[in-house]
Amino acid sequence: MKKAQFARKVASDLAAVVRRLCEASRGLHPQRTCMEHREPMPSRAVLVEMVEDLRSVLFPGYFGLAELDAESMEFHVGATLDRVLRVLREQVKRGLCFACTEAQECELCDLQALETTYAFLGRLPEVARILATDVQAAYEGDPAATSPAEAIFCYPGVLAVMNYRLAHELHRLGIPLIPRIITEHAHSITGIDIHPGARIGESFFIDHGTGVVIGETCIIGNRVRIYQGVTLGAKSFPLDEEGRPVKGIPRHPIVEDDVIIYSGATILGRVTIGRGSVIGGNVWLTESVPPGTRVVQAPPPHRKRTPGED
């Protein structure tokens, strides 16, 4: 019977394909000293859950258990944060082992992970304080917002900024890979792509947000407001002798305090948008502008549509 023959062919080819795929995958794995010690890779799924937990710690009652009251809140926040710290230590350690290229002892990675966890814990109250300014900025910056609570619950900009602020703390502590996984998680949910290396001030609000890109070396001041589709990107980047981009050079915009950038605007390169400027929608900008500048796109031509035309 034809079907049975086919089924057998599938089954018997399986082993050969598996072998080829495993061989191919070898090229994808870096030479890792720690690999000797068989340290597993970080887990995206675990990190995503950890960030969910952190959200319920930073906004208790809004996320996680919905039935908090004042008396029991500390128990829930404490239990969740304790779980977060254990997960963070483990994942940070994996991230460090993954990236370490020297013959470093695994024990050092573990110790560094523990130090990082400790430092991160100490930063959380400050992160919470700044996030409260972001929430207030969202409420004040959107006429459709009926309460700060609505911003916490529903605004993708608030979620993306929260993930960024958490990832940024880890980035500052020199942790590889993990911060990027955290911001990419927000990117996948919100369409807002903030590199954990960017530096962003208080009361930051991204409205709607889909398509926003904020590059690695951006510096953004206080009370900045950004709309969907805004790119703060690199204009171009120098290549090294092997034709690869040189890593880590300042190449993204500086946006000073109180700037508003409307939807679809693209600002590229190490330019400065002066304090209090307004950048109009769909604008393409590759030069600095002084404080208080207003940049707008020219109005498009329009004419009577020929019927049937589109």
- Site size for a copy of itself (CB under 8 A): 167
Residue 291 corresponds to which amino acid? Answer: P
Instruction: Pick one of 213, 220, 226, 255: the residue that binds a copy of itself (CB under 8 A).
Output: 213
Binding to a copy of itself in span 235-294, by CB under 8 A:
236-237, 243-249, 251, 260, 262-264, 266, 268, 276-278, 280-287, 289, 292-294
> What are the backbone dihedrals phi and psi of residue 85, each rounded to the nearest 5 degrees, phi first?
-65, -40
Per-residue tokens: 47: 């990190």
Q: Which residues contact 174 (CB under 8 A, 6 or more apart)?
A: 116
Give just the sign of the alpha carbon dihedral 161, 89, 180, 62: negative
Strand order across the beta sheet in which 231-233 lies: 193-194, 213-214, 231-233, 266-268, 284-285
Instruction: Pick one of 51, 80, 200, 255: the residue that binds a copy of itself (CB under 8 A).
Output: 80
Cβ at position 50, least distance to a copy of itself in Å: 14
- Of 218, 214, 219, which Cα lies nearest the Cα of 231? 214
Cβ at position 219, least distance to a copy of itself in Å: 15
- Of 191, 244, 200, 193, which Cα lies nearest the Cα of 225? 200
Per-residue tokens: 94: 């994996």
- Identify whether the C-beta of residue 209 lies closer than 8 Å to the C-beta of residue 186: no
Instruction: Pick one of 48, 49, 104, 149: the residue that binds a copy of itself (CB under 8 A).
Output: 149
Cβ at position 201, least distance to a copy of itself in Å: 19
**Which CB sits closer to a copy of itself, 6 or 199?**
6
Using DSSP, state whether 114 is helix, strand or coil: helix
Instruction: Pick one of 97, 155, 164, 170: the residue that binds a copy of itself (CB under 8 A).
Output: 155
Q: Taking CB under 8 A as the rule, does residue 28 contact a copy of itself? A: yes
Instruction: Pick one of 117, 175, 218, 221: the residue that binds a copy of itself (CB under 8 A).
Output: 117
**Which CB sits closer to a copy of itself, 122 or 201?**
122
**Which CB sits closer to a copy of itself, 8 or 199?**
8
Neighbouring-strand partners of residue 205: 225
Q: Taking CB under 8 A as the rule, does residue 202 contact a copy of itself? A: no
Binding to a copy of itself in span 48-77, by CB under 8 A:
57-63, 65-77
Q: What does the alpha-carbon distance between residue 177 and residue 173 come to, in Å, rounded to a whole number?
A: 12
Cβ at position 119, least distance to a copy of itself in Å: 10
Instruction: Pick one of 226, 228, 255, 269: the residue that binds a copy of itself (CB under 8 A).
Output: 228
Cβ at position 221, least distance to a copy of itself in Å: 16
Give just the sign of the alpha carbon dihedral 70, 75, 80, 86: positive
Q: Which residues contact 213 (CB under 8 A, 6 or more apart)?
A: 193, 230, 231, 232, 233
Cβ at position 222, least distance to a copy of itself in Å: 16
Instruction: Pick one of 48, 83, 257, 272: the residue that binds a copy of itself (CB under 8 A).
Output: 83
- Identify whether the C-beta of residue 200 lies closer than 8 Å to the C-beta of residue 130: no
What is the contact mask toward a copy of itself in residues 157 to 186, using x (rule: CB under 8 A)?
A: -------------------xx--xx--x--
